[in-house]
Structure formats: structure tokens, C-alpha cells
A and B are shown apart, each in its own frame.
Chain A
Amino acid sequence: MKQHVRLPQKNHLTTFSFIGLLLLTYFISNPIFGQTENENKATSITKERIIKGIVSDETDVLLGVNIVQEGTVNGTTTNEKGEFTFPKKLNVGDVLLFSYIGYETQKVVIKEDTSFITLKLTLDAVTMIGTLDAGKPYKSKRKD
């Protein structure tokens, strides 16, 4: 029984010392740790960042374009200048959906170097047609 109790304790000790060793290695080997802000910014380009951009169609900037992170409700809309600032920091590989009624929805995947998105939406190519079914009985046209 005693051995059963001791064994995990020993493991804890081993774990702690292992973490300690890791931390020590980190302090020694990571030159950025505890240094200036500038260098921190340099590394954050590959991590989370704020995305801004501007959306237009073939003639003008678009007000009210919805920009949503795919699979979430995180989102924003463009202002009267067509500009937006996405409210949440995004990572490489995150997908933004740009949607505006009547225009084709576009997806933009956040890449390593994405920080400002300039996007042109195109009007949906569909032809507008419609036929109503009023459910009224058919009536033949008769000559007389």
C-alpha cells in the first residue's frame, strides 16, 4: 500500500522538476523573453491580428456589407465609406464571409500576410424572373 501512495508523489516531483528544467531552458534559449515591445509585434504578425478592409462593387463602396467569421456569430458591417474593422483578432486559416444581398458571397481565408482586405463584390449573375400561382381554375378562351 505504502508504495502505491509514494509512487505518485515521486511522479509529481519528477514532473515539477521537468517543468522547472523546461522553464530554465526557455529563459536561456529564448532571446525575446522580457525584451522590447517592438520585437513582440514582430512575432505577433504570424499570430492573432486585427483585420481591416474596404468593400466595393464595380462602381462604388458598399455600405452595410456583412462580414462574419465562418462558423461563428462574430461579425461586423461596413460603414458608409465601405470600411470595416473586424472586432475580433483573427488567426491564419480563419475564414471571413462577405455577404451583401444581391451580390455573390465571397470567402476570404486569413493568410500569414493578411492585414488589410480590399474586396470587390460582384452582382449575382442571376436573371430575375417570376411566375405566380394564384391557384385560380383554368378557363378556356371561347370564341363567342
Chain B
Amino acid sequence: MLFITANHSFAQISDFNHIDFKKADSIALSYTNEGLYNLPKLAFQLTNDLDTDAEKFRSIYFWVCHNISNNYSLYLRNKHQRHRLKNDSIKLKNWNDNFKKKLFKKLLKHNTTICTGYAYLVRELANLANIKCNIIQGYGRVSTTNIETLDLPNHSWNAVKLNDKWYLCDPTWASGIPNPKTNSFSFQYNNGFFLAEPKLFAVNHFPVDEKWSLIEDNAATFKEFLAAPIIYGKAYERLDNHILPKEMHQTIKRFENVRFEYQLKKQIQPKAVVFKIDNGTSIEKIEPMNISVQNSTLKIEHQFTKKGFYDVHLYLEDHLIATYTFKIKS
């Protein structure tokens, strides 16, 4: 209870608007290719010349995001085994213990890992710099997983305490883009996952221990979380919150008004708002019928004129933000 009352739902990066993270970022970049063989030394190097905990943590987080790659084959092997052994807790634990040792060896030798490895490194380095930081285990929803049937926790991220307030970040998803076809990984830093707005974060992150949503009132239930729209990494760079619609799958009638609403990080031109509508065989790019941008709130109204079943993708400035499905009845 203490924990919950001590937190504010608006714990996010705008609390640190007065801090320029350039110095922290350049320190982190100057230690590129530094190995993981000596974490205490690395933590010291990344933080010693910085004054505030926010900058120290930034340097650590930035370093991890730019130096650790995501390993797709490790991910697949683990996912497969965890699913296979999910009803045998002893075998599952044995698998995890053995896999963990292998994974940490890979991390040490090749700077490659899966989510928990990222969260582990961020926590270890932060703790070594005397910053409170936890690994948060939970569920992550992305476009490529079987999103309706998340039966085991599948994702890890961090909570960090800065100036007596907890904040969320996701170093795995911030670091870059894996390519499942080629088993490769390209670093592509996404700043939106650093001290992210908890309400947006909650759209595709659900912590096993629910207090770590950092949302005081009306936090989504697990059922609501599973029913939520898909949002993408780019949403974190452009949105502070996804407000409407609350559910991914919508069933409506032809010419029925549908409302969409988003809290924007920065202003955009109505022209930059586009729907791409996939009917299963082709994708049509359209402008929504009514778009308004006021006080950083983006509101869209739209009517579908033809019967059918559509995947509707929202794009802002050519970046994929969110996906919904619409069943249009006559």
C-alpha cells in the first residue's frame, strides 16, 4: 500500500525535461565494445563523471541498449521448451537453470541475450552505481506472438527509482529490431521506452506483480490487457497514451461512427494520419474521415462503408503505431 500511495501515475521522462542527457549518452557511447567481464568497473566508468542518478541511469541504460544484441535462436529455443514443459514444474525449473547458465555465458562472451538478460544487466549495473532498480517479469504483447493465449510470462523489463519515484523502461525493445528470417539483429535505438509513460506502457506490458504497473487507479485487468489493441515500438516515440478504442477487435455496422483517441508527445499535421486497411488480399491506404489535433490530443472519427473483415493499421508520419481489426456488418 505504501508503495502505491508513494507513486504518481505520471512518473515519466518529462519529469527530467530539465536534464540534458547528451553527456550521459556520449559517455555511454565512448565505452562501446567494452566487455562484460568486469561489471563493477563498467558501472563505475559509465557513471563516475555524472552528477545525478537520472543521468547515471541513463548512461547505463543507453550502454546496454547499444551494446547488447537480441538473440533470436536463443529466444526460439527457450520459448519452445518453456511451452513444452509448462505443466511440469520440475522439468521447467531444470530447463531454466541450465538455460540460464548457457545464456549468461553467451552474454559474457558474445554480448547477446534475450529480454531477461537485458533487464538483468541494467539492474546489475544500476545497483552497482547505488541506484535502485528491479527486473519486472510479465507479459509482453507484440504483433507476432499468439496474443490471445499468453499462458506463461514471456517478457522482462525494468523499474528504476529516481528521486524517490519509480519509473519504467524496456531495454530489450529499445535496443533494436530482430529479423526472424535471417536470425540477425539490427541496433536501432528507440528512446520512447526510456522512463515511459506507465499508461502507454500498460497497453503491451502486464507485470506478474501488478503493483509494478505504477498505475494507481483503473489499471487494466489481465483480461483487458489481452483484449487491448496492438501497439508498436514507434508508438512510444509519438504517443503518451493510447485512449480509444480500448479493444483490438471491433464489430460494428456499416456507416457506424468509430472513435479513436490518442495523447501525442508532439504535435502532428492531420495529413500525417493514415489508415492502411488490409482485407486479406490487398492493402488500401486511406485518410480517415475526420481528424482533429487539439492540445496534443489526436481524435479520429471514421465510418466503414463496406461489409467485411479488415485489419486496420494506424500510421503517423509513415510509422506504424497501432493495429485493430474491424468486422463490418450490414
- The finding on whether chains A and B are genuine partners in a shared complex, rather than unrelated, reads yes
User: What per-residue 1/0 map shows which CB atoms of A96-137 lie under 8 Å from chain B?
Assistant: 010101100100000000000000000110111111111111
The reply to whether A66 and B142 contact each other, CB–CB distance below 8 Å, is no
Contact of B38 among A75, A102, A132, A136 (CB under 8 A): A75
Question: What chain A residues lie within 8 Å of B179 (beta carbons)?
Answer: 134
Q: Using CB atoms, name the residue of chain B closest to A57.
A: B101
**Bound-complex Cα distance A102 to B103 (A):** 9
Is A10's CB within 8 Å of the partner chain B? no
**Bound-complex Cα distance A73 to B40 (A):** 8
The reply to whether A134 and B137 contact each other, CB–CB distance below 8 Å, is no
Contact of A134 among B155, B178, B230 (CB under 8 A): B178
Question: What chain B residues lie within 8 Å of A97 (beta carbons)?
Answer: 40, 128
The reply to whether B116 and A126 contact each other, CB–CB distance below 8 Å, is yes
Question: What chain A residues lie within 8 Å of B44 (beta carbons)?
Answer: 68, 72-73
Q: Using CB atoms, name the residue of chain A closest to B310.
A: A140
Q: Using CB atoms, name the residue of chain A closest to B72.
A: A132
Contact of A133 among B41, B153, B173 (CB under 8 A): B173
Of A127, A132, A137, A138, chain B has the most CB atoms within 10 Å of the CB of A132
The reply to whether A99 and B40 contact each other, CB–CB distance below 8 Å, is yes
Given contacts A75-B41, A99-B124, A129-B82, contact A139 B311 (CB under 8 A): yes
Question: What chain A residues lie within 8 Å of B96 (beta carbons)?
Answer: 127-128
Is A2's CB within 8 Å of the partner chain B? no
Question: What chain A residues lie within 8 Å of B116 (beta carbons)?
Answer: 126-130
Is B39's CB within 8 Å of the partner chain A? yes
**Bound-complex Cα distance A126 to B117 (A):** 10
**Bound-complex Cα distance A123 to B180 (A):** 30
The reply to whether A127 and B137 contact each other, CB–CB distance below 8 Å, is yes
Q: Using CB atoms, name the residue of chain B closest to A67.
A: B40
The reply to whether B278 and A134 contact each other, CB–CB distance below 8 Å, is no
The reply to whether A136 and B154 contact each other, CB–CB distance below 8 Å, is no
Is A78's CB within 8 Å of the partner chain B? no
Contact of A131 among B154, B233, B278 (CB under 8 A): B154
Question: What chain A residues lie within 8 Å of B97 (beta carbons)?
Answer: 123
Question: What chain B residues lie within 8 Å of A137 (beta carbons)?
Answer: 143, 276, 278, 311, 313, 320, 323
The reply to whether B117 and A131 contact each other, CB–CB distance below 8 Å, is no
The reply to whether B233 and A102 contact each other, CB–CB distance below 8 Å, is no
The reply to whether A129 and B156 contact each other, CB–CB distance below 8 Å, is yes
Contact of B40 among A75, A132, A135 (CB under 8 A): A75
Is B115's CB within 8 Å of the partner chain A? yes
The reply to whether B232 and A133 contact each other, CB–CB distance below 8 Å, is yes
The reply to whether B233 and A129 contact each other, CB–CB distance below 8 Å, is no
Of A72, A99, A105, chain B has the most CB atoms within 10 Å of the CB of A99
> Shortest 9 CB-CB distances between A and B: which pairs?
A130-B114, A102-B104, A130-B115, A68-B40, A138-B143, A138-B323, A131-B140, A131-B155, A133-B142
A selection of 19 A-B contacts at a CB cut-off of 8 Å is A66-B37, A66-B39, A66-B41, A68-B40, A68-B41, A68-B44, A99-B39, A102-B101, A126-B135, A128-B99, A129-B82, A129-B152, A129-B153, A130-B78, A130-B154, A131-B172, A133-B232, A135-B233, A139-B311
Seed contacts A75-B38, A134-B179, A142-B280; 12 additional CB < 8 Å A-B pairs: A66-B39, A101-B108, A123-B101, A124-B120, A128-B100, A128-B103, A129-B114, A130-B114, A131-B155, A136-B143, A138-B311, A142-B309
Residues of A within 8 A of B (CB): 64, 66, 68, 72-73, 75, 77, 97, 99, 101-102, 105, 123-124, 126-140, 142
